[in-house]
Amino acid sequence: MVRGSALGDRPSGWHHVRDLAPRRATLAPCADVSDAPRASRTVGRVTETAAALVERLTALVPDFPKPGVLFRDVTPVFSDAVAFGRVCEALAAPFAVGAGFDAVAGIEARGFALAGGIAAQHQVGVLTVRKAGKLPGEVLSEQYALEYGEAELELRPGQLPAGTRVLVVDDVLATGGTGAATITLLERAGYQAIGFAALLELDGLNGRERLEPRLPVATLGAVPA
């Protein structure tokens, strides 16, 4: 899900990542294939880029969750088998070179789906970064700023060996508040956050500028905040 500016916080020096994945992929228009035979639809979708699939399948819902907000619902991307596999591959690709990653951290809630898909493709584990009060036992907590007030994310420590290389994923990058809090949680747990990937980023909210001093950032496209 990608919202407008009501999202609050949400949707470098590693130049080899930028060479493999440009900062922002162009969201190319895609022909409507909804009336084509099933076999033809499958062939057409195989040729679509991940960015084009996200653009075509994302549902736009005006005035939700409040008047004046254009809500971008990306759950249709998750329910489409071809699109989901393609976007998971595309999000991970810039970070799968060299030393790669040993686990994927998904930010609640849509980041869980993306983290699970990427982890299954690369046969690595998943870390769930949850909202406060959702995890039992010992947890690490990190606050981040919202438009009004603060929120908190939590992570259970000790799940992986110290130094584990972790890719952080979410559906959208806005101001970067949840991303920054997640990176800090991973570092406090003794892990190495090696990159941040999201389906979309919101222009003008400076999320990329906030995160890139800490790690490489890759998204499949950008939309107005």
Which residues form the catalytic set? 110, 147
Q: Do 11 and 5 contact (CB within 8 A), yes or no?
A: no
Sorted by sequence, the CB contacts under 8 Å of residue 17 that are 6+ apart come out as 94, 95, 97, 195, 216, 218
Yes or no: say if 200 and 219 are a contact pair by the CB < 8 Å rule: yes
Partner residues linked to 201 by β-bridges: 173, 222
Q: Which segments of the chain are extended strands (E)?
A: 59-62, 70-73, 103-107, 125-131, 140-145, 150-155, 165-173, 192-203, 217-219, 222-224
What's the angle, vertex CA 211, arms to CA 88 and CA 119, rounded to 5? 25
Q: Look at the block and give the residue holding tokens 């088998």.
A: 81
